[in-house]
Amino acid sequence: MDITKETLKINKNVCEKKETIIIQGDMIVPDSKPDILNTINANGNVCIYKKEIMEGKLRIDGNILTYIMYLADGEKDNVRGLNTGLDFSETINIQDLQHGMSVDILPIIKFIECKILNGRKIGIKITLELTIKVSSKEEANIITGTNDANIQVLKKTMKINSLLGEGSTKTYVKENISIPTTDNLAEILNAQICLVDKDIKISYNKILAKSEVEVRLVYLTEEGRICTTQTRLPLVGFIDMPNIKEENICDISYMIKNILIKPNSIEEHSVYIELEVEISCMTYEEKEIQVIQDMYCPGEKIEFQTTMLKTMTNKQCKKNTCAIREKINVPELTTGTIIDTSINPIINKENRLNGKVVYEGEVELEIIFTDNSSVGINTKKVNIPFEQTVEGIDNNSRLNTQIETVSQEFVNQSGVVSANVDLNFETDTYQNSEIPVIDNITEEEEENLEDYSVIIYVVRAGDTLWKIAKRFGSTVDDIVRVNGIENPDKINVGEKIYIPKYVLKRAKEPITLTAHG
């Protein structure tokens, strides 16, 4: 018997998990800077420069470039800044992880705690949340048909997302960010770096992945003024992907591996920024295939094994923008001026109903502003609630949602802050599916073939024409013809149907069936 097969490349979701790790270290005040009286603000930028996949374990090595704004003890211009890199190495247990699997990591800083140990040392404790996705690649030969007219097959049409290819590239940003010539930069107080406006273009067997690096700096001048600057730098990377088409689906991930922020000489009025970013991509094509769920041969005994292959289907990526327009009462800002803000969007609740998902969450704001106190600078934390609806989501779909801040504007009018924040929701959806894989097929004569020409059968609950035909060694086509059945997919419990005998010339020896790809 000749059978037809199709080779599929499957990318199977192995697991998704969140892991929280604690990173601790000390920051020593350089001799050139005054003692610490109190900390004002702290933030960090995460780099993961190495990941090692082992049996049941994932090891990651990274660094958090941390900036602390502090109140100096006994200084006239008493706001100063410190920065350090906190190295970390963590081994995470992942039960199903094996060599050769792909691991995607999204790190988010949840909290930074600073404790003054003495006037020259600060203890830092960072809570880092890692969203980890593990997937595995495998090939499978799926039986899709047979050329033997005597073999009865039950087929099913399935749509799946077949893996087309994967690739990665490293790209770099090396730029000088200018500050006004009136500012003689003394030190950087705060630095925030993030990737925004991610997009791809497909052409000529390549994927062009592009993004912008948003850099927000708070710095101190030699004259003691606190200033800010913000800019965006282009980031571009090319990934080779043979046979890719515009309609294919691309999963792109960005990983910041290294960051360098260094003030240039005072005369240059600029800050040097260097980033190393790894861009990874998996591409999928949607395929419609005919798979054989079951088979038999009237008058012959067919033996085979069936295993279920897990895969993905109905993979989509939906992008939506949530526009937050709120007025916030901040009495401390009645006579102050906003210097900078840090934004952390959080999803607290996810509700699914009637083909849509509703996200409820809040934006955590930390506002740095000037005031009339002896310090001259202060911070305020504010939470703004939001709700966002994403349409066209199947209730059985798996979701993976990421939020990025596209734009932000805060206008202070005597303690009432108008907050204009645009959040981009990128929701990846897919469904888990199983494909029956038939293998190890053998055929031999039935030893006890019942001798009848036709029988009458009463339909029972759970019966289908396929099950009945297979049980009595007939065919669905013959039963439909003899009984004049209009819809083979609809038979009624208690209905009497005639089952004709199906005659097949038997082979004298057992036959092993071979497959031709």
User: What per-residue confidence (pLDDT) applies to 517?
Assistant: 36
Question: How many whole angstroms separate alpha carbon 355 and alpha carbon 333?
Answer: 44
Q: Is position 86 within any domain?
A: yes
pLDDT the model gives residue 138 = 87
pLDDT of the residue at 510: 39
Query: Whole-angstrom Cα distance, residue 351 to residue 389?
Result: 9
Contact 244, 254 (CB under 8 A): no
pLDDT at res. 25: 93
Side-chain-side CA neighbours of residue 343 (13 Å):
22
Query: Exposed, middle or buried, 352 (CB in 10 Å: 0-12/13-18/19+)?
Result: middle
Q: What residues make up the domain containing 66? A: 3-137+162-284+314-433
In a domain, 153, yes or no: no
- The rounded average pLDDT for each run of 10 residues, N- to C-terminus, in the chain (517 residues) is 81 90 94 90 94 95 95 78 94 93 93 93 95 90 83 89 93 96 93 92 92 94 90 95 91 95 94 96 90 86 86 88 92 86 91 91 90 75 93 87 90 92 92 85 62 81 92 90 91 92 48 34
Does residue 515 sit in helix, strand or coil?
coil
Cα-only R_g, the chain = 32
b/e per residue 478-494 (b: at least 16 CB within 10 A): bbbeebebeeeeebeee
> Are residues 404 and 315 in contact, defined by beta-carbon separation less than 8 angstroms?
no
In a domain, 514, yes or no: no
Strand, coil or helix: what is 135? strand
Indicate the pTM of the whole model: 0.85
Beta bridge partners of 14: none
User: What domain count does the chain have?
Assistant: 1
pLDDT of residue 355: 87
Q: H or E segment at 24?
A: strand 3-28
Domain assignment present for residue 221? The answer is: yes
